[in-house]
Amino acid sequence: MSKIRITKQFNFETGHALYGYDGKCRNVHGHSYKLSVTVIGRPITDTSHVKLGMVIDFGDLKKIVKEEIVDQFDHATVFNKNTPHVDLAKELTDRGHNVILADYQPTSENMVIDFSKKIRARLPENISLHSLRLQETDTSFAEWYASDNQ
């Protein structure tokens, strides 16, 4: 049986600031992110299996990405935990805001790397993460491919 890729798309709103950056993105701002998650595997051939013909149930993939990414990042503000933004993060957290202190500068590039690790850890053994595409604006996105990271 051939390997097949399937893709599920997600949307979430996230704020961030890039400490030390030399442009406008050093200021706290937000994006309407679009995340495309593509996995690869062989469709189930067991005729007694309730998911016959599926690589993975779209609902199962949705659950993984929702729990690991969307529920965490939607309407959160992300700061690098090693910057002076930690004072602002504490203030926001104390006021009931959802703040993530990441181990990295919260660029689309670094976020997509982080997302790849989280999603891969939750996929069934017979399913592999093929690629991620994190679109920050209508014209800008970062992509992660398993083939580039072996």
Write out the catalytic residue numbers. Answer: 25, 75, 136
The backbone region for 133, taken as left when phi is positive above 0, alpha when psi lies in -120 to 50, beta otherwise, is: beta
Determine how β-strand 99-102 pairs with β-strand 4-16: unpaired
Residue 31, marked binder? yes
User: What's the CA gap between 121 and 98, in Å, rounded?
Assistant: 24
User: What's the CA gap between 40 and 54, in Å, rounded?
Assistant: 11
User: What's the CA gap between 67 and 61, in Å, rounded?
Assistant: 10
* 124 DSSP assignment: -
Residues of the binding site for Zn(2+) = 16, 29, 31
